[in-house]
Structure 1
Amino acid sequence: MTEEQNNNGITTWFWVIGWGALVWNLLGVMSYIMTVTMSPEIMAELPEAQQELMNNTPAWATGAFAFAVFGGAFGSLALLMKRKLALPLFIVSFVGIVVQLYHSLFMSNSIEVYGPGGVIMPIMVFLFGIGLIWIARHSISKGWLK
């Protein structure tokens, strides 16, 4: 057993990525919950352009947000529990990411409203989504997930 491996040949980076993915996706869940439960008083404190963007977000884009963050959170839990279910959950999450990304970049004025962060963050989320699918596939091929 090498210094990077622990029980069943699973490397330390697997656990670091798994816990990091869980924290990342739980932050996404918090963001989703804060978005859909925002009170009118808090909404009124946002800049007008941001209020308009949020009020004009279609239900399917908000639903994609939910699939992205909850799929990612449950996928991360499945990964940490060493379950193959992580892969389909990460795929569901990724589909949600793609749908949400499409809306943000091509159907709304989010880049105008949020500036460069309106592009950088969604692309970063997209890359993380790809990475989590790769991690799950790699872990399955190594026999780490049952």
Structure 2
Amino acid sequence: MDDHYSPRPVAGWFKFAAIASVLFMAIGCAGYLASVLTDPSSLPADQRNLMAARPIWMIAAYAIAVWIGLLGSVLLLMRRKAAEPLLLVSLIAAIFTFIPYAVVPAVSDLVTTNDIAVAVVVLAITWTIFWFARHSRQRGWLR
């Protein structure tokens, strides 16, 4: 659809979904802070080894995914069109966050089935939030 269509009334569930998006991204930010501020020596050996194996670009992608995602979600709640491109950046960065699970042997040798399951769920939710922003823009709900 095009931005030139007349806006439709904002769905009653919009605010609930936007708040859920903000909460999801805020949890991601808390997880990021925990991952970079935790003293590796306080972790079990398997988690310590995984932290040490992460390439710097994986950590940078994680930061971009969650912080830009939080900003995008807040803008979505405020019904701003800028939310959509920011949430696309967040989605792309989230994908890059998990690419090492498959392509960096030092990481892929250490990830568990649970790590992979979490990655799939996070990517699915992040995609859904981006889709929601796109849908909202197409409906004329964002200004």
Could you tell me the TM-score, scaled by structure 2's length?
0.87
Alignment pair present for 1:76 and 2:69: no
1:81-92 alignment, distance < 5 Å: 81-92=78-89
Size of the aligned set, in residue pairs, is 136
Is residue 2:21 matched to residue 1:21? yes
Structure 2 contact 18–76 (Cα < 8 Å) conserved: yes
- Whole-Å Cα distance in 2 between the matches of residues 114 and 59 of structure 1? 17
Shift of 1:108: 4.7
Matches within 5 A, 1:1-146: 9-39=9-39, 43-108=40-105, 113=110, 115-146=112-143
d(CA) in 2 for partners of 1:116 and 1:123?
A: 11
Where has structure 1 moved over 4 Å in runs of 4 or more? Answer: 108-114
Kindly provide the amino acid, as one letter, of the partner of residue 11 in structure 2: T
CA deviations on 1:113-146 (whole Å, 9 max, x unpaired) are 4532111110111111211121111111111101
Distance 1:70 1:89 in 2: 10
Match of 2:4 in 1: none
Say what the alpha-carbon RMSD is for the aligned residues: 1.7
CA distance in 2, matches of 1:10, 1:98: 30
Q: Is the 8 A contact 1:111 1:117 kept in 2?
A: no
Gapped regions of structure 2 (runs ≥ 5): 1-7
Structure 1 stretches lacking a partner, 5+ long: 1-7
| Identical-residue share of aligned pairs (%) | 28
Structure 1 residues 58 and 112, CA gap change in structure 2 (3 angstroms): closer
**Could you say which structure has the greater relative contact order, defined with CA pairs below 8 angstroms and 6 or more residues apart?**
2
Query: How far apart are residue 110 of structure 1 and its match?
Result: 5.5
CA distance in 2, matches of 1:106, 1:14: 38
